Copies of this chain bind each other. A is one copy, B any other.
Amino acid sequence: MTRIGLLGCGRIGQVHARSIAQIEGATVSAVADAFPAPAQDLANRANAKVMDAMELINSADVDAVVIGTPTDTHYDLIHAVAKAGKAIFCEKPVDLSSDRIRDCKAVVENAGVPFLTAFNRRFDPNFADLQARLQQGQIGDTEIITIQSRDPSPPPVNYIKSSGGIFRDMMIHDLDMARFLLGENPVRVYAIGSALVDPEIGNAGDVDTAAVTLSTASGKICQITNSRRASYGYDQRIEVHGSRGMLRAENVHETTVEIATETGFARAPVQHFFLERYEAAYRAEMAHFVAAVENNTPPAPGIEDGLQAQLLADAADQSLKNGKPVDLT
């Protein structure tokens, strides 16, 4: 039985608690949160103890720790859990600064503790199946990847201000997906972007509509677009063109119902809410983490993946500001 301590009892902490409840051989043994009410509430539902963060990290009842607290607390918590010698499941981004992620990486590697960077989309059954087929060579060599990723609606401008910008906050998922699918680190990043959705986002120094082009040393190409708005739902699509064919993962619609009338054929929007869209992904991600802890194998994506995605986001940010592609070394 893997006994898991949850740091952070907000929306994402609750998601992880539900996932753990469905995994044989795992249980939530302790929870911690800066606010007592959500901690107590989650503890009741999970039949777990409320502790404070340091108590939880060092508790003899906790084998592994899920970090689901605000991003600016990750750095210290990772250090503490690594010191306690326990496995770490850390929400993305690990940190908004690449240098600080490098620090965390050194600490984690020195401590020799398992570390999962929670890029949940790798575990989506559709994207995971696409990647597995790619690896099996079903379409030959990868040549062009196209990733479309659009949120149903923009977050509040206050959130934008502390988010690190669209590349570190939103596109980082797609940058990780690009790495996952390319099987090769990009060497050049070109980004453009505009504030078309909400001028306040532009006033806050960010963009809400962005496109990035990645290229690799072997000549592979990846195009990513992001928008903070999609009236028709949470638009999450990937397409890979290879030497022998094409693979694509389409959106998930709310139902399979289609209506035909004199104006044509209509079907439902795609699922709007990311927790619904990625419910299975969150479950598979946690199951992977628990299995890695039990079998003492390194979870993936690891902290190096968290770092590499961040470096791509940094490069995209720099490219947008300079109007030139950025070379990575």
Q: Which residues of A contact B (CB under 8 A)?
A: 125-126, 129-130, 133, 138-139, 141, 143-144, 146, 148, 150, 188, 190, 192-197, 209-211, 213, 215, 218-221, 223, 225, 227, 229-232, 235, 239, 241, 243-270, 323-325
Among the listed B195, B269, B323, which residue makes an inter-chain contact with A219, where contact means beta carbons less than 8 Å apart?
Answer: B195
Given A196-B243, A245-B262, A259-B247, also A221-B215 (CB < 8 A): no
CB distance from A205 to the nearest CB of B (A): 15
Contact status A259-B246, CB under 8 Å: yes
Given A190-B325, A196-B141, A211-B213, also A247-B258 (CB < 8 A): yes
Residue numbers in B under 8 Å from A194 (CB-CB): 143, 215, 218-221
CB distance from A250 to the nearest CB of B (A): 4
10 nearest interchain CB pairs?
A: A194-B219, A232-B260, A245-B261, A250-B256, A231-B262, A246-B260, A266-B266, A211-B221, A126-B255, A264-B269
Q: How far is the CA of A229 from the CA of B325 in the complex (A)?
A: 27
Contact status A264-B261, CB under 8 Å: no
Among the listed B143, B188, B247, B257, which residue makes an inter-chain contact with A129, where contact means beta carbons less than 8 Å apart?
Answer: B257
Give the oligomeric copy count.
Answer: 4
Nearest opposing residue in chain B for A208, CB measure: B143
Among the listed B141, B239, B262, B270, which residue makes an inter-chain contact with A269, where contact means beta carbons less than 8 Å apart?
Answer: B262
Q: How far is the CA of A268 from the CA of B249 in the complex (A)?
A: 11
CB distance from A280 to the nearest CB of B (A): 10
Nearest opposing residue in chain B for A190, CB measure: B190
Residue numbers in B under 8 Å from A139 (CB-CB): 259, 261
Q: How far is the CA of A246 from the CA of B210 in the complex (A)?
A: 16
Nearest opposing residue in chain B for A18, CB measure: B22
Contact status B223-A223, CB under 8 Å: yes
Given A192-B215, A215-B192, A264-B266, also A227-B143 (CB < 8 A): yes
Contact status A125-B255, CB under 8 Å: yes
A-B contact pairs, 16 of them (CB 8 A): A129-B268, A138-B259, A138-B261, A196-B220, A210-B221, A211-B213, A225-B241, A232-B246, A232-B260, A235-B246, A245-B259, A245-B261, A247-B260, A250-B257, A250-B258, A265-B269
